[in-house]
Chains A and B, each alone.
Chain A
């Protein structure tokens, strides 16, 4: 049973537009959420995180929104750039335990 779901395996966006990557979770005990970015032949790199006490965290072009009642979070990238093309993983954890990862969404940003 997948506790962290990324239902869109891929997303295509025009350069300069907004990219919105979605993630749903089922475990209400999750209290920390992370996004990782992965380029081909490289390991994932940490991108941004959010604690369950917040509903928004912003870092430059990247903003993560958390809707606890809907058990949903999203990553917004504005404006999208071709270098943002990668696989994005959503992850969630309880306390400091090992995070549970989603299957990833492949983002392609067209010039």
Chain B
């Protein structure tokens, strides 16, 4: 299909290791968002990319988290030195432009488990 895809769907890692999560947005969507959902919590905003503008990193919980978006398309969320509290479902969403902020299309998520 032409929806947002994320990989891997599941990731189990040991505490202290680095992980990379990938998001392929819908073709033509210039805005891309990362959220995470911890157990029993709502969706927590992490970072937002719009075109070639500097990303809005205001939601990143610590400097262990970073994200990049290459060529205005695929995005990678990197978590360094993972901790058990990083365990969550990481969701990526895209929208046509920032003005259609409300029409976000979400991917299925990556379930990260840190042991």
Task: Tell me the number of A-to-B contacts counted with CB atoms below 8 Å.
Answer: 56
Known contacts A96-B101, A98-B59: does B107 contact A43 (CB below 8 Å)?
A: yes
Query: Contact between A44 and B106 (Cβ–Cβ < 8 Å)?
Result: yes
Instruction: Give, as a whole number of angstroms, the nearest-CB distance from A41 to chain B.
Output: 6
Q: How many residues on the A side are at the interface (Cβ–Cβ under 8 A)? A: 25
* Count of residues in B whose CB is under 8 Å from the partner chain: 25
Binds B, one of A53-61, A75-83, A101-109: A101-109
B71 contacts A by Cβ under 8 Å: no
* Cβ of A32 under 8 Å from chain B: yes
Q: Which of B40, B44, B99, B108 contacts A96 (CB 8 A)?
A: B99
**B51-70 near A? 1/0 per residue, CB < 8 Å:** 00000100100000000000
Q: In this assembly, does A45 line the interface, its C-beta being within 8 Å of a C-beta of chain B?
A: yes
**Chain B residues close to A by CB (< 8 Å):** 4, 33, 35, 40-45, 48, 56, 59, 91, 93, 98-99, 101-109
